[in-house]
Amino acid sequence: MIPLSYFLILSIILFVLGAIAFFVKRDLITQFMAIEIMFSAANLAILAFAKAATSLDGQIIVFFVITVAAAEAAVGLAIILLIFRQKKTIKSEDIKLMKG
Amino acid sequence: MAHFLFFLLAIICIASVLGMIISKDQAYNALFLIVAFVCMGGLFALLEAPFIAAVQIIIYAGAIMILFIFVIMMINLRKGVGPEKKRWTVYFAVVIAFVLIAELVLTVKGTLEPISSAAVEKLGNPTDLGRLLFTKYLYPFEITSILIIAALVGAIVLVKKRDKE
């Protein structure tokens, strides 16, 4: 029987690593992967709490999160592909059109 | 046995995420991420959620990462990402990481006392999950299908090459 705190600590570590990866990395695709890591870390925490509360609803929430993440990944990657076609770069520091 | 599995999966998961941070190559990053997601699926299975574990491995490690690898293949940067210009984001990341750790630990600290969990029969039984999904959560389930169709059509329309007239 693994204590709940182990899972929560692992979830914190993974979430923070995902945030670090998002800021350290410079290309859009890897930053997008970092977001997926943070999704999964949050899912881990939800499942740990769901087990502690002995409830099935947490698993349903995680199921919906995974489904929506799949949809989000498809649209996000399409947008990255469009940016690459127009600007010939996927480095996030080269995309500063909003700055004027 | 469960402890051993937990620590094995946790170490592999953290190591592959660290590998993703260190590695420069996007294709390697994607492969590291697949390892991390498969380990995460194992952890989900340890949490008595076998169906979610299968979904995690099929959708994340399968579908989403294949999508990533396709896009990496289509973008096909010959010379990699290149050197970084702005170094301040690294320090910013460290600061953010410490703030985030402090915040999350403070939040979680209240829950660290062991909760007296009653002995449950099979928690993550896929039959119960499916029944719940089609009774209590029927509307969210159907709305999700609309969302996926919208995302699919949107992605196709975005990426489609328009013929020049």
Contact call for B92 and A3, based on CB within 8 A: no
Does B102 lie at the interface with A, CB-CB under 8 angstroms?
no
DSSP state of B120: -
Contact call for A13 and B14, based on CB within 8 A: yes
Which pLDDT does position A23 carry in this prediction?
86
In whole angstroms, what separates CA B66 from the centre of its chain?
Answer: 13
Report the topology of domain B1-78: Four Helix Bundle (Hemerythrin (Met), subunit A) (1.20.120)
DSSP string covering B14-57, please?
HHHHHHHHH---HHHHHHHHHHHHHHHHHHHHHTT-HHHHHHII
For residue A39, count CB atoms less than 10 angstroms from its CB and return exposed for 0-12, middle for 13-18, buried for 19 or more: buried
Rounded alpha-carbon distances, angstroms, from residue A90 to A21, A25, A85, B73, B141: 16, 12, 9, 13, 35
Q: What is the mean pLDDT of residues B59-88?
A: 78
pLDDT at B79 over 90: no
Domain residue extents for chain B: 1-78, 125-165
Q: What is the mean pLDDT of residues B37-60?
A: 91
Q: What is the CATH number of the domain that holds A41?
A: 1.10.287.3510
Residue with tokens 């989900």: B44
Which pLDDT does position B110 carry in this prediction?
73
Which pLDDT does position B165 carry in this prediction?
53
Asked if B18 and A17 count as a contact pair (C-beta separation under 8 A), the reply is yes
Which pLDDT does position A100 carry in this prediction?
46
Asked if A18 and A34 count as a contact pair (C-beta separation under 8 A), the reply is yes
How do residues A12-36 score in pLDDT, each as one tens digit?
Answer: 999 999 999 998 888 889 999 999 9
pTM of the model: 0.87
CA B117, CA B110: separation in Å to the nearest integer?
A: 17
Which pLDDT does position A98 carry in this prediction?
64
Q: How confident is the model at residue B1 (pLDDT cuts 50, 70, 90)?
A: confident
Give the nearest partner residue to A51 out of B3, B48, B112, using CB atoms. B48
Q: What is the mean pLDDT of chain A?
A: 87
How do residues B11-20 score in pLDDT, each as one tens digit?
Answer: 999 999 999 9
Residue of higher predicted confidence among A25 and B88: A25
SS3 A91: strand
Q: Looking at the complex, report in whole angstroms how far the Cα of residue B101 sits from the nearest Cα belonging to chain A.
A: 7
pLDDT at B84 over 70: no
pLDDT at B76 over 90: no
Question: Can you give the residue range of the structural domain that contains A57?
Answer: 4-99
pLDDT at B164 over 80: no
